[in-house]
Amino acid sequence: MVLIAPSLLASDFSKLKEEVMAIDKAGADMIHLDIMDGHFVPNLTFGASIVRAIRPYTKLPFDVHLMVQNPSEMIRPFYEAGADIITVHTESVRHLDGILSEIKNTGLKAGVALNPATNEDVLKYVLDKTDLVLVMSVNPGFGGQSFIPSSIDKIARIKKMIGNRSVLLEVDGGINPLTAAECVAAGADVLVAGTAVFKGGNYAENIKALRV
């Protein structure tokens, strides 16, 4: 069964503790944390101190997605804050193999994120150091965007590249019950969903609707 990772970007920031506990109770599999620096993407979210503050309220894995210009500088702070997975954008990294090693050396799982216009060939020589590949199915920086249809073929191609490796294939952006089904059919293992989980307040039903 596909794993659902609610994105806290779509939650009520005035009550993060309660939101974290609610999506845990509702059946989420992990919690997706979008870290934006206002430079790599045109938005600013939160840092390691917020992640540390909410860590005691769930045992779910923290899936930290670094949309930042200098991800290497943030590995240690998010490791110390309680991250379980740290994902970096290949577009922001000069030495992808090296930063994946940095993450792995902390004992955390390492992920690689690809923007919609980024060719999946960049993964070719680092898949053996990668625990998760994140396909962005919208342009990063803002929630609530529409799914980019060409992402489906990209997911299928990356799934083929992964082969029998123990690498999770995650999709982020524009996920709803319809696009969720398409992504899973193409090979997705994890779906990141913000609006689709938090809208209306019935988190359990919303998560259930995304499982296919």
The catalytic residue among 29, 34, 37, 131 is 34
The catalytic residue among 29, 37, 63, 172 is 172
Closest Cα to residue 138, out of 170, 119, 115, 158?
Answer: 115
The DSSP code sequence of 36-81 is: EBSSSSS-B---HHHHHHHGGG--S-EEEEEESS-GGGGHHHHHHH
Torsion of CA 24, 26, 30, 36, to 10 degrees: -90
Work out the end-to-end distance of the chain between its first and last CA atoms, rounded to an integer number of angstroms. 7
Q: Cα–Cα distance between 171 and 166 in angstroms, integer?
A: 16
User: Is there a contact between 204 and 27 (Cβ–Cβ < 8 Å)?
Assistant: yes
Quick check: is 97 catalytic?
no
Quick check: is 34 catalytic?
yes
- Known catalytic residues are 34, 172
